[in-house]
Amino acid sequence: MKIVVLDGFTENPGDISWAPLEALGEVTVYDRTAYEESDLIAERIGDAEIAVINKTPISKATIDKCPNLKAIAVLATGYNVVDYTYAKEKGIPVQNVPVYGTDNVSQFAVGLMLEACSHIGHHSDSVHAGEWASNADWCYWHYPLVEVSGKTAGVIGLGRIGYNTARVLNALNMKVVAYDKFPNDKGKEVAEYVALDELFARADFIFLHCPLFPEVEGLINKDNIAKMKDGVILINNSRGGLVVEQDLADALNSGKIAAAALDVVSTEPIKADNVLLGAKNCIITPHISWATKEARERIMQTTAENIQSVIDGKPINVVNA
């Protein structure tokens, strides 16, 4: 079995092992493959039976150039970079890793909220720059400090991650309201289900925890921002495409939205001219909610299990069945 990993660096920059995959066949690992070069993508897959990707796109044209391909294994939960419909037509299962970082992503979401409220990083930097040592007072702060206890958090998307985030918010004595297409009894344990417009109207904090489907693309736009409370704080470590970035920047600069804390943007890596880089009170981290060593080890193990299931003729975690 020939296995090719097309963009392995973010999964394994050297601190974990490819051994679980290497036990299954001949493995070639490329740290990166240029996303724009479809001919190079097909050339690197070559006659391999398994293509392992993270964000490298696999198009119809690439699939047609790789007749030996038996499966496409994604080192992530999201799989929109693959033409999975065409892959199904060709009998090629696309497999993902459905659960690996629920705790990590929730932890990071709450961390983003707390950073937006407490500005810990900013004030630590100011102390290291000498400002406290030269200050006339025993304390100082550059931004308003916000207490979260007693506030209302709105969670859009109450799946595994949204549910877990809501549990943590409950522990912080926050009221949680949620919007989800599929309300269920488990969700009711941690949140009050409401209509989307009601969530916008009530929430002091809005968390985005939904996949990027066409019906929610650009969900955070000027029309929906107008429905929000003045001074709301937005947290997004789900998908950048959920936000119309110019509309968010305008709302931040006007003060309608007090702050945004983002781990994702519409194009990644972020472009130097992204409007959010110049917006007021906007925290941006480089899509790292998922990236603890523990989570990446779980991704590696599940990917190995996915490939083994193809070898066994009973593919699991197939998203295009």
Residues 159-169, mean pLDDT to the nearest whole number: 97
Determine the pLDDT at residue 37. Answer: 87
Do 206 and 154 contact (CB within 8 A), yes or no? yes
DSSP symbol at 159: S
Determine the pLDDT at residue 260. Answer: 98
Token pair of 302, please? Answer: 């599940």
Beta-carbon contacts of residue 31 (< 8 Å; ≥ 6 apart): 7, 8, 9
Residue the block writes with tokens 């917006």: 279
Whether the per-residue pLDDT at 213 is higher than 90: the answer is: no
Determine the pLDDT at residue 58. Answer: 97
pTM of the model: 0.93
State yes or no: is 239 an active-site residue.
yes
Give CA–CA dist 47/59, Å, rounded.
16
Give CA–CA dist 22/298, Å, rounded.
16
Backbone angles phi, psi at 264, to 5 degrees: -140, 150
pLDDT tens-digit readout, 76-123: 998 989 999 999 999 999 999 999 999 999 999 999 999 999 999 999
State yes or no: is 268 an active-site residue.
yes
Whether the per-residue pLDDT at 263 is higher than 90: the answer is: yes
* Edge-to-edge strands, sheet with 152-156: 192-193, 175-179, 152-156, 205-208, 232-236, 257-262, 282-284
Structural domain spans, the chain: 2-100+293-311, 102-284
Task: Indicate if 102-284 has the same CATH topology as 2-100+293-311.
Answer: yes
Active-site position among 268, 297, 298, 305: 268
Determine the pLDDT at residue 162. Answer: 98
Instruction: Read off the pLDDT band of 211 (50, 70, 90).
Output: confident
Token pair of 85, please? Answer: 């419909």
Do 259 and 252 contact (CB within 8 A), yes or no? yes
Summary mean pLDDT of the chain:
97
Superfamily of domain 2-100+293-311: NAD(P)-binding Rossmann-like Domain (3.40.50.720)
Active-site position among 49, 239, 245, 296: 239
Superfamily of domain 102-284: NAD(P)-binding Rossmann-like Domain (3.40.50.720)
pLDDT tens-digit readout, 9-60: 999 999 999 999 999 999 999 999 998 888 999 999 999 999 999 999 999 9
Determine the pLDDT at residue 299. Answer: 98
Whether the per-residue pLDDT at 290 is higher than 90: the answer is: yes
Q: Which of 131, 49, 15, 110 is nearest to 315 (CA)?
A: 49
State yes or no: is 142 an active-site residue.
no
Active-site position among 44, 209, 287, 296: 287
Residues 214-226, mean pLDDT to the nearest whole number: 97
Whether the per-residue pLDDT at 274 is higher than 90: the answer is: yes
